[in-house]
Structure 1
Amino acid sequence: MAWLVAGVLLLPLGGCGAAALPCRVTAATLKVLPVVGHAAATPFDMCASAID
């Protein structure tokens, strides 16, 4: 069931979007941290932008 849900969520992401997903998820997770979150997420945001 989990694979089905993952497949449905990744279906709209074509090529580059699926490759950038780990960078985007990591950046979003780091941004939750107070004070240093946005600074720590900057490299991952740049990674996702470079892939796109």
Structure 2
Amino acid sequence: MDLSNLSPAEGSVMSDNFRRGRGHGSGNGKTAGKGHKGQKARSGAPRP
């Protein structure tokens, strides 16, 4: 094993290359996976 030649195991890395919040037909529109209301649904930096 060589530390300069490592790569993630096959299938272990999930890509997040889809656009959120771009219409109902996209499957991830409207609330963009954030649910309804609540602190984590708000815009801006996360509150401590």
Structure with more relative contact order (C-alpha pairs < 8 Å, separation 6 or more) = 1
**What's the TM-score once normalised by structure 2's chain length?**
0.25
Larger Rg: 2
**What's the TM-score once normalised by structure 1's chain length?**
0.24
